[in-house]
Structure 1
Amino acid sequence: MSVISFNDGWACRAPQGPFAGAFGGAIARDVRLPHDALRDETRQPEAPGRGAGAYFPAGAYTYVKRFEAPQDWARLLVQLEIQGAFRRAQVFVNDEFAGNRADGYARFFVDLTPFLKAGQENELRIEVRSGEDSRWYSGAGLHRPVLLHLSEPLDVVPDGVTVETIRIEDDLAVVEVRSHLRNAAMNTCTTRVRTVLNGPDGQVVAEGSVPLTLAPAEGATSRQRFYVRSPSLWSPDEPILHTATVSLEGREDVHVTTFGIRTVAVDPLNGLRINGRSVLLRGACVHHDNGPLGAAALPRAEERRVELLKAAGFNAIRAAHNPLSVAMLDACDRLGVLVMDEAFDMWTRFKTPYDYAAEFPQWWEADLESMVAKDRNHPSVVMYSIGNEIAEVGSPHGARWARRLADHVRALDPSRPVTNGVNAMLAVLDELPRMAQQAGATDSTGGGLNELGMDGAFNAISALPQATQRIEESSAALDVLGLNYADSRYEMDRQLFPGRVIVGSETFPSQIGRLWPLVLKNPNVIGDFTWTGWDYLGEVGIGSITYESDSDAPGGLEREFPFLTALTGDIDITGWRRPISYYREIVFGLRTAPYIAVQRPERHDDKVLLKSPWAWSDTVSSWTWTGHEGQPVTVEVYADADEVALLLDGAEVARRKVGIERPCLTEFEIVYFPGELTAVAYSDGVETGRMMLQTAGSATTLQAISDRYELANDDLAFISVDICDADGLPVSNADAAVTITVEGAGVLAGMCSARPATTERFDGDTWRTFDGRALAVIRSTGPGPITVTASAPGLAAGQLSLHVTA
Structure 2
Amino acid sequence: MIRTSFNDNWQVRPKTNPFAELSGQTVPYREVTLPHDAMIEQVRVPSEEGGAGGYFPGGEYEYRKTFFVPEEHRGKRVVIEFEGVYRDAVVFINGDYAGQRPYGYSLFRIDADRFLRFGQDNEIRVEARAHQDSRWYSGAGIYRDTWLLVGEVVRIAPDGVRVATPDIDAERAVVEVATTVVNDSIEIRTADLLIELRDVAGAVVATGAGKITVLPGESAIARQRLYVRDPALWSVAEPALYTCDVTLVGLDSERVTFGIRSLRLDPVHGLRLNGESVKLRGACVHHDNGVLGAATHARAEERRVQILKEAGFNAIRMSHHPMSKAMLDACDRLGMLVVDEAFDVWTSAKSPYDYSLSFPEWWARDIEAMVAKDYNHPSVIMYSIGNEIPETGTPSGAAWGRKLAEKVRALDGTRYVTNAINNMLAVMSELASLREQAAGINTLMADAGDMMNAVAVSDVVTERTAESYSVLDVAGMNYSDSRYALDRERFPDRIILGTETFPTRIDRNWALVQQYSTVIGDFTWTGWDYLGEVGIGRPQYGSTPTHVAPYPYLLAGCGDIDITGHRRPASYYREIVFGLRTRPYLAVWRPEHHGQTFIGSPWAWSDTLPSWTWPGHEGAPVTVEVYADADEVEVLLNGRSLGRRPVDRFRAAFEARYEPGELLAIAYRDGVESGRDVLRSATGPVRLRAEGDRPVISATGGDLAYITLTLTDANGTLHTSADREVRLEVSGTGALIGFGSANPSTEERFDAAERRTTEERFDAAERRTYDGRALAVVRPTGPGKIRLLASAPDCDPAEIIITVESPS
TM-score bucket (shorter structure): over 0.9
Equivalent residue for 2:746?
Answer: 758
1-structure distance, mates of 2:429, 2:545:
23
Equivalent residue for 2:710?
Answer: 722
Equivalent residue for 1:650?
Answer: 639
Please say if 1:572 is aligned against 2:556. Answer: no
1:262 Cα offset (Å): 0.8
For the Cα contact (< 8 Å) 1:637–1:666, is it kept in 2? yes
Equivalent residue for 1:160?
Answer: 160
State the SS of the aligned residue for 1:611: coil
2-structure distance, mates of 1:612, 1:450:
10
Q: What are the equivalent positions in structure 2 for 1:601-750 lying under 5 Å apart?
A: 601-608=591-598, 610-659=599-648, 663-714=649-700, 715-750=703-738
1:485 Cα offset (Å): 0.1
Q: Are residues 400 and 699 of structure 1, via their aligned partners in 2, closer, same or farther at CA, if it must alter by over 3 Å?
A: farther
Q: What residue identity is the alignment partner of 1:636?
A: E
Q: What residue identity is the alignment partner of 1:87?
A: R
Bigger CA drift: 741-750 or 84-93? 741-750
State the SS of the aligned residue for 1:472: helix
Provide the identity percentage.
Answer: 53
Equivalent residue for 2:479?
Answer: 485
2-structure distance, mates of 1:227, 1:173:
6
For the Cα contact (< 8 Å) 2:85–2:141, is it kept in 1? yes
1-structure distance, mates of 2:673, 2:597:
36
Equivalent residue for 2:91?
Answer: 91
2-structure distance, mates of 1:407, 1:103:
21
Equivalent residue for 1:227?
Answer: 227
2-structure distance, mates of 1:160, 1:726:
57
2-structure distance, mates of 1:346, 1:597:
39
For the Cα contact (< 8 Å) 1:14–1:20, is it kept in 2? no
Q: Are residues 474 and 290 of structure 1, via their aligned partners in 2, closer, same or farther at CA, if it must alter by over 3 Å?
A: same
Please say if 1:188 is aligned against 2:188. Answer: yes
1-structure distance, mates of 2:685, 2:33:
38
For the Cα contact (< 8 Å) 2:642–2:654, is it kept in 1? no
TM-score computed with the length of structure 1 as normaliser: 0.97
State the SS of the aligned residue for 2:644: strand
Please say if 1:501 is aligned against 2:495. Answer: yes
- Of 548, 567, 570, the residue aligned with 1:558 is 548
For the Cα contact (< 8 Å) 2:170–2:231, is it kept in 1? no
Q: Are residues 19 and 486 of structure 1, via their aligned partners in 2, closer, same or farther at CA, if it must alter by over 3 Å?
A: farther
1:737-786 Cα distance to aligned partner (Å, 9 max, x none): 11111011111111111110000011132111111111111111111111
Please say if 1:600 is aligned against 2:572. Answer: no
Q: What residue identity is the alignment partner of 2:208?
A: G
For the Cα contact (< 8 Å) 2:545–2:601, is it kept in 1? no
Please say if 1:236 is aligned against 2:236. Answer: yes
State the SS of the aligned residue for 1:545: coil
For the Cα contact (< 8 Å) 1:190–1:212, is it kept in 2? yes
For the Cα contact (< 8 Å) 2:196–2:244, is it kept in 1? yes
1:507-545 Cα distance to aligned partner (Å, 9 max, x none): 000000111010000000000000000000000000012
1-structure distance, mates of 2:94, 2:611:
59
For the Cα contact (< 8 Å) 2:10–2:32, is it kept in 1? yes
For the Cα contact (< 8 Å) 2:439–2:451, is it kept in 1? no
State the SS of the aligned residue for 1:393: helix
1:251-271 Cα distance to aligned partner (Å, 9 max, x none): 4x5200000011112111111
Q: What residue identity is the alignment partner of 1:728?
A: G
2-structure distance, mates of 1:583, 1:92:
51
State the SS of the aligned residue for 2:74: helix
For the Cα contact (< 8 Å) 2:740–2:776, is it kept in 1? yes
- Of 447, 462, 469, the residue aligned with 2:456 is 462
For the Cα contact (< 8 Å) 1:699–1:723, is it kept in 2? no
2-structure distance, mates of 1:773, 1:385:
36
- Of 577, 584, 594, the residue aligned with 2:574 is 584
Q: Which residues of structure 1 form unaligned runs of 5+?
A: none
1-structure distance, mates of 2:440, 2:781:
60
1:670 Cα offset (Å): 1.0
2-structure distance, mates of 1:450, 1:182:
58
1:649 Cα offset (Å): 2.4
State the SS of the aligned residue for 2:424: helix
Equivalent residue for 2:761?
Answer: none
1-structure distance, mates of 2:780, 2:544:
42
State the SS of the aligned residue for 2:537: coil
Question: What is the Cα-based RMSD across aligned positions, in Å?
Answer: 1.4
For the Cα contact (< 8 Å) 2:181–2:219, is it kept in 1? yes
2-structure distance, mates of 1:381, 1:520:
23
Equivalent residue for 2:37?
Answer: 36
2-structure distance, mates of 1:183, 1:275:
39
1-structure distance, mates of 2:620, 2:197:
67
2-structure distance, mates of 1:697, 1:657:
32
State the SS of the aligned residue for 1:572: coil
1:700 Cα offset (Å): 2.3
1:334-374 Cα distance to aligned partner (Å, 9 max, x none): 00000000000000000000000000000000000000000
1-structure distance, mates of 2:435, 2:613:
46
Q: What are the equivalent positions in structure 2 for 1:355-374 lying under 5 Å apart?
A: 355-374=354-373
1-structure distance, mates of 2:434, 2:20:
50
Q: What residue identity is the alignment partner of 2:125?
A: R
1-structure distance, mates of 2:42, 2:49:
14
For the Cα contact (< 8 Å) 1:725–1:731, is it kept in 2? yes
For the Cα contact (< 8 Å) 2:199–2:243, is it kept in 1? yes
2-structure distance, mates of 1:68, 1:450:
61
For the Cα contact (< 8 Å) 2:34–2:142, is it kept in 1? yes
Equivalent residue for 1:523?
Answer: 517
Bigger CA drift: 737-746 or 407-416? 737-746
1:15 Cα offset (Å): 1.6
1:708-750 Cα distance to aligned partner (Å, 9 max, x none): 1101115211111001113332111110011111011111111
2-structure distance, mates of 1:639, 1:97:
61
Q: What residue identity is the alignment partner of 1:102?
A: P
2-structure distance, mates of 1:211, 1:333:
31
1:459-507 Cα distance to aligned partner (Å, 9 max, x none): 0100111001110001100000100000000111011111111000000
For the Cα contact (< 8 Å) 1:49–1:57, is it kept in 2? no
Equivalent residue for 1:136?
Answer: 136
Q: What residue identity is the alignment partner of 2:357?
A: A
Q: What residue identity is the alignment partner of 1:702?
A: L
Equivalent residue for 2:392?
Answer: 393
2-structure distance, mates of 1:457, 1:741:
51
1-structure distance, mates of 2:345, 2:333:
31
Bigger CA drift: 146-155 or 334-343? 146-155
1:688-711 Cα distance to aligned partner (Å, 9 max, x none): 000111111134220001101101
2-structure distance, mates of 1:190, 1:399:
45
Q: Are residues 699 and 286 of structure 1, via their aligned partners in 2, closer, same or farther at CA, if it must alter by over 3 Å?
A: farther
Please say if 1:331 is aligned against 2:330. Answer: yes
Please say if 1:284 is aligned against 2:283. Answer: yes
Equivalent residue for 2:297?
Answer: 298
Equivalent residue for 2:343?
Answer: 344
Q: Are residues 25 and 215 of structure 1, via their aligned partners in 2, closer, same or farther at CA, if it must alter by over 3 Å?
A: same
1:277 Cα offset (Å): 1.1
For the Cα contact (< 8 Å) 1:699–1:731, is it kept in 2? no
State the SS of the aligned residue for 2:673: strand
Equivalent residue for 2:28?
Answer: 27
1:438 Cα offset (Å): 1.3
Please say if 1:542 is aligned against 2:541. Answer: no
Q: Which residues of structure 2 form unaligned runs of 5+?
A: 753-764
